[in-house]
A and B are shown apart, each in its own frame.
Chain A
Amino acid sequence: MSATTERPRLAVGRIGERLPREDAVPKVTGEFSYASDLSTPGMLWGDTLRSPHAHARVVSIDVTAALGLPGIHGALTHEDVPGKKLYGLEFADQPVLAIDRVRYVGEPVALVVAEHPEQARRALEAIVVEYEPLEPVVDMERALEQEPLHPDRPTMGHGYRDDRRPNVVRHLVIRHGDPDIAGDVVVTGTYELGIQDQAFLGPESGLAIPDGEGGVDIHVATQWLHVDRDQVAPCLDLRPEQVRLHLSGVGGSFGGREDLSMQIHSALLALHTGRPVKMVYDRAESFTGHVHRHPARIRCEHRATRDGRLTSVRMQILLDGGAYASSSTAVASNAASFGLGPYRVDNALIETTAVYTNNPPCGAMRGFGAVQTCFAAEAQMDQLAAELGLDPVELRLLNALEPGDSLPTGQVIEGSLPTREVIRRAAALPVPDQETLPRDPLRLPGGTGNTTTGEGIRRGVGFALGFKNICYSEGFDDFCAARVVLHADGSAVVHSAAAEVGQGVVGVMLQVARTELGTDEVTLAPHTTATVGSAGSTSASRMTWMAAGAVRDACRAALEERERRGGGEVDVERVHRHPRTTPLDPETGQITGERAHVALAVAAMRVVVEVDVELGLTRVVWVGTAQDVGKAVNPLALEGQIEGGTAQGLGLALMEEIVTRNGAIQNASFTDYLIPTALDMPPVEIELVEVPEPDAPYGVKGVGEPPTVVSTAAIVSAMRAATGRPLTRAPVRPDDICL
């Protein structure tokens, strides 16, 4: 390999074009600076002492010995938190540093700051904490009867259904039509999912730099700069403008960076020492440093007529939120709202309960409640098809939810939702023929392990359908700001705080600006809270829509302003809002306005697996999927979202689970928390279904989550077809297949 080729002209690209990424060049050369790459002169290193107990009273904390060690510049406890001692995304129920009680293994208890990370590590060992262990609450069903972990009930009185049982974060009941209505056939099932980790590769990291005037600049990998700022400032007892959040390179997020990790901690240490302080979690710490996907237990009863029409569905969904609320209330709402799947069901009773336990805190992860319920609902649909002797695809077509139908919350679907088209396109993808034997073990279940030459192999084909919402819901005032500076020479700079976490929003914003301004000469300013308003979160498949809307609005306003002024430089900031939503009625779970969710996106997936039924090992051979994407802004990036989202669902189907024992994570490493490798991923054939969303700029929809919602369900469906086993739990363990 000798010749090098020219760089492409990355700066060209309008909406709809297939484009390489703007930031790919610095990422392939290693120049791109991630949070863990940051450094600055005079920088100190912070580290965190974490609780070894799932539940304990903190009797005393003594940092004296640590302070005497070489290179140590400070050791802080909750007493050193100058402002509010608690923070949280939805409810401030999580201590910045443990006060009198720890509620999960890994909860931050104290901080140290040192010249070198190794000195910091040794100082942590010198801190003496006296704990009085308490019985941990580790079972999500029993939690509802055990002593409350948050006796002050921080989640009560927020307009949600009041529930007197202990340890309820949110209890939600959706009653739709007459759930008692009979059907000709009834299928029931109980489904479970383990805890999944986002397992982003870039560990949590940040660099806090005191500004010398009492304020602080925090450079960090996050999903929402402004909401970080709004949680950090009160704890530091600073005004919001004294705390500036700046986005560093983000090595993936998938929901795991919605909650704070070391933002407040690094700032406390920086303000304490008057010097820049960096914190970097290692992989083991990362597993306790962010929230996970909620483990779930879901009971279902589906009733249908003899010809296959769903008459009523009952679902009881239990989600283990772990020690703190994080975004459990919204996850619970999503699980309930989308629990039935994209099917028209006139009668339903859906009850969702998210509970506090002493397990690792759970919150946002790609799919956000819809992954868990899709797994259950689609297993039920397969079971129903078998019971009725119907083709599973036909059953889904028959019941497909379409515009004009209503969700169980009473919301009538007015936007785009091409469910039948998505089903048909996925089902029409030709399934590959079975490969002949012998084969290299790479192409057999068990992979390089060489466990079979063909013995025990059964092939199965599965199908699943899934959907979820786009954008925030239930009355959340969701908006996104963008600022456009048009220079006299025609070039433009776009300012946005939208977090680029790998998904490609930088490209979307550039495409929009180039399209609207009619010029290639557009650049993006650094993402920060300092120069532009909030963009909202890179979450809920909302950022493409919201950033595209904000940049479009700002570009158009800038052009108008220039026109009005007759030229010169203009600088315009605009805020984009999607259609307003309203809360659900706390008693009935029904909408209180026109809609509780902004828009919906649906995906269907067909999967071929080969299962070694004697060893319980699975190879996913092929995936074909059709996805409702509204409008493909950049097909290359979009395919990457679908392929990557599918891989995460494959992980949950086959291998990914945080295993706990009495609340303590047993596999906090990539040695034992397995994520799919290059040898685990099959080819993914993709059909994009473009039916523009009427309320969205350019008709776009978010695309990141639907593939993750549907792929776990589709893969396990294929595994059921191969094995004839019910496989009611994800991830499927080899034992579930062969013992």
Chain B
Amino acid sequence: MLAHVRIDLTVNGERREGVLRGGESLLTFLRDTLELPGSKNACEQGECGSCSVLLDGTLVCSCLVLAAQAEGHDVVTVEGLARDGALHPVQQAFVDAGAVQCGFCTPGLVVAVVDLLERMPHPSDDQIREALSGNLCRCTGYAKIFDAVRLAAGRA
């Protein structure tokens, strides 16, 4: 294979393709090549969760996935959650609960909560805290984020 390779993958339900550099992360590929900057670049080493996406339905840090590894796989980013102009219930709950301040952690947290509620529709407080322990937030102190999770779970 050459240093620059073209890959095909499914992103937010659509077939996408793009040329990547060999060592490039899925995060930079999503942001720079596919022009999906919703996944964020706060640490780029898996310590903050701001780049969280679903890879074949599994929550991962896209900064730690080699972009080439995503070839032929299915990726869902924060941009793929709203449907027909309506927010995803988790997104709506983040808005309503005041869970957003600067918002840099928000896309990753929204994806992580979507994943949590898929696996556990009615998580306990401890389950919420553990499930979100990989998503750093510097603004909110997390309280309103927990409120958002409970709100979304309660509305489902």
Contact = CB atoms under 8 A, between A and B. Distances in A.
Given A5-B155, A7-B87, A678-B142, A639 B103 contact: no
B45 A669 contact: yes
Contacts of A203: 41-42
Contact of A636 (B98, B135, B137): B98
Given A24-B103, A678-B132, A8 B96 contact: yes
Nearest to B107: A30
B101 A28 contact: no
Contacts of B129: 442, 678-679
Contact of B100 (A24, A199, A669): A24
A684 to B, nearest CB: 6
A262 to B, nearest CB: 15
Contact of B143 (A199, A200, A681): A681
A489 interface: no
Interface in A272-292: 280, 282-283
A202 B37 contact: no
Interface centre among A30, A443, A669, A683 (most CB of B within 10 A): A30
A60 interface: no
A679 B133 CA distance: 6
A502 B105 CA distance: 11
B86 interface: yes
Nearest to A670: B47
A505 to B, nearest CB: 11
A143 to B, nearest CB: 31
Contacts of B103: 23-24, 27-28, 32, 249, 251, 502
B37 to A, nearest CB: 4
A25 to B, nearest CB: 6
Nearest to A198: B138
Nearest to B145: A678
B156 A1 contact: yes
A250 interface: yes
Interface in B108-144: 110, 114, 117-118, 121, 126, 128-130, 132-144
Given A6-B86, A442-B130, A670-B43, A37 B100 contact: no
A684 B42 CA distance: 26
B141 A684 contact: yes
Contacts of A3: 89
A201 B92 contact: no
A670 B136 contact: yes
B6 to A, nearest CB: 17
Contact of A637 (B47, B86, B98): B98
B92 A251 contact: no
A669 B21 CA distance: 25
A703 to B, nearest CB: 13
Contacts of A6: 86
B98 A30 contact: no
What is the predominant secondary structure among interface residues of chain B facing chain A? loop
A455 interface: no
B37 A678 contact: no
B143 A30 contact: no
Contacts of B135: 678
Interface residue tally on B, bucketed by range:
35 or more
Contacts of A27: 100, 103, 106-107
Interface in A1-53: 1, 3-8, 10, 20-21, 23-25, 27-34, 36-37, 39
Contacts of B155: 5
Contacts of B79: 29-31
Interface stretch (A334-342, A368-376, A642-650, A692-700): A642-650
B19 interface: no
Nearest to B106: A27
A639 B47 contact: no
Interface string B88-101: 11111011101011
A30 B78 contact: yes
Contacts of B37: 30, 33-34, 36-37
Interface string A367-397: 0000000000000000000000000000000
A10 B96 CA distance: 10
Interface string A676-687: 111101011000
A647 to B, nearest CB: 4
Given A670-B48, A671-B45, A28 B143 contact: no
Given A25-B87, A203-B42, A675 B138 contact: yes
B126 A1 contact: no
B43 A677 contact: no
B82 interface: yes
Interface of A: 1, 3-8, 10, 20-21, 23-25, 27-34, 36-37, 39, 118, 198-203, 249-254, 280, 282-283, 440, 442-443, 448, 501-504, 636-637, 639-640, 643-648, 669-671, 675-679, 681, 683-684
User: Which 3 residue pairs are nearest across A and B when measured between Cβ atoms?
Assistant: A30-B38, A502-B102, A27-B103
7 contacts: A4-B87, A251-B103, A280-B41, A283-B43, A448-B130, A640-B98, A684-B143
Given A23-B100, A671-B45, 8 more contacts: A28-B91, A28-B94, A29-B79, A33-B37, A200-B102, A203-B41, A636-B98, A678-B146
